[in-house]
Amino acid sequence: MLLVRKPHTPAQSLLELDDPPQLPASDWLPYLAECAGAKPPLRVPVWLARRLAGDQAVVMMTEGRGFSNAKAKRELGWELQYPSWRQGFKAELA
């Protein structure tokens, strides 16, 4: 995720940019580990993760929430460097 402010505009014009669709960590984290040559991440039960990391961390890692980059593309002419997170991980970690 990246926050961008249009030049010469108030702070209320911040745009949140993301590689849609945003997915839970269980979908992208194993692939990231694979691209990095690391071991697959350990799976932790939600009840234990809540006790160790708190509700907010669990929500962030388990409940993917979709974003749209349409406004940034329309108003800023912004484009993703890689069409998908899979291509970005593979290219940047190769």
Looking at residue 1, its pLDDT comes to: 47
- Which pLDDT tens digit goes with each residue over 1-34? 454 555 555 555 666 666 656 778 888 899 999 9
46 near 62, Cβ under 8 Å? Answer: yes
**What's the Cα-to-Cα distance from 80 to each of 1, 4, 13, 73, rounded to whole Å?**
12, 13, 20, 9
Alpha-carbon distance 35 to 56, whole Å?
27
What mean pLDDT do residues 86-90 have? 90
Looking at residue 85, its pLDDT comes to: 84
pLDDT at 55 over 90: yes
Nearest to 93 by CA among 55, 36, 33, 39: 36
Alpha-carbon distance 48 to 34, whole Å?
25
- Which residue would you say has higher pLDDT here, 85 or 15? 85
* pTM summary value: 0.65
Looking at residue 21, its pLDDT comes to: 62
Domain boundaries of the chain, sorted by first residue: 20-89
